[in-house]
Amino acid sequence: MEYTMETLAAACADCHKCALGDTRTNLVFGTGNQNADLMFVGEAPGEQEDLSGIPFVGRAGQLLDKFLYAVDIERKDVYIANILKCRPPKNRDPLPAEEEACIGYLREQVRLIRPRIIVCLGRISAMKLIKPDFKISKEHGQWFERGNFLMTAVYHPAALLRDPRRKEEMLEDMKAIAQKLTELRADETK
Ligand code: URA
């Protein structure tokens, strides 16, 4: 089936492929620019996201906003989604079966948006999207070529709230992402 973002969101809204569809308050489909060059993918909605239906609006999201601001990227220009569209109870890690049930929606989102860069926010997203043995403390900020786009991973902002010493590395990674985006756009106009 050929989806548009609207029909995909509608299909997702009715989803009960896993048990999280029964416990969610709101589906957290994804928000932002549907033609974004830059896409961020987190893990799963937390409490504030479940209540609002919008990804990364809680404390971790506010910290992500600060990093976007620091490197001159506007949140409205990027697209933000998660591996899971529904909140796991008490914010536990996603189960493999939940990831499998949900990942098709993310794949369709990527197909529709066609970003140049996908940034995994945190270990869980990087392990699902880049490689299963991804080591976030060692491999954050590295680039991985995937067909038409580049992928990288940065620390999850919630991890930075727990360990603020890593914020400097996050800032360096975010600067490199902004720089790579500028380079890709410059190549396109050549
Ligand atoms: N953490 C995530 O991984 N995603 C959100 O949307 C919020 C917090």
pLDDT of residue 28: 98
CATH number at residue 122: 3.40.470.10
pLDDT of residue 188: 83
Contacts 24+ apart (CB under 8 A), 17-23: 17/101, 17/102, 18/86, 18/95, 18/97, 18/98, 18/101, 18/102, 20/84, 20/86, 20/87, 20/88, 20/98, 21/86, 23/86, 23/87, 23/89
pLDDT of residue 67: 98
pLDDT of residue 137: 98
Classify residue 12: in a domain, yes or no. no
pLDDT of residue 1: 79
Work out whether strand 117-121 and strand 79-82 pair parallel, antiparallel, or are unpaired: unpaired
CA distances to 108, 120, 133 from 89, in Å: 25, 22, 25
Classify residue 14: in a domain, yes or no. no
C-beta of 50 in contact with ligand 1 (< 6 A): no
Number of domain units in the chain: 1
Enclosing domain of residue 94: 19-184
pLDDT of residue 166: 98
pLDDT digits (tens, 9 = 90+) for 80-105: 999 999 999 999 999 999 999 999 99
Classify residue 190: in a domain, yes or no. no
Classify residue 11: in a domain, yes or no. no
Please state the atom number of ligand 1 nearest to the C-alpha of residue 43: 3
C-beta of 157 in contact with ligand 1 (< 6 A): no
pLDDT of residue 10: 96
pLDDT of residue 33: 98
Classify residue 32: in a domain, yes or no. yes
Q: Which two tokens stand for residue 89?
A: 């109870």
* Beta carbons within 10 angstroms of residue 153's beta carbon: 27
pLDDT of residue 189: 81
Report how far ligand 1's centroid is from the alpha carbon of 130 (Å). 18
Report how far ligand 1's centroid is from the alpha carbon of 179 (Å). 25
Classify residue 10: in a domain, yes or no. no
Alpha carbon 21 to its chain centroid, in Å, reads 20
Classify residue 6: in a domain, yes or no. no
pLDDT digits (tens, 9 = 90+) for 72-85: 999 999 999 999 99
Beta carbons of 133 and 127 less than 8 angstroms apart: yes
Flag residues of the chain having pLDDT under 50: none
Report how far ligand 1's centroid is from the alpha carbon of 149 (Å). 23
Classify residue 129: in a domain, yes or no. yes
C-beta of 18 in contact with ligand 1 (< 6 A): no
Task: Of 38, 90, 31, give the one whose Cα is nearest residue 56.
Answer: 31
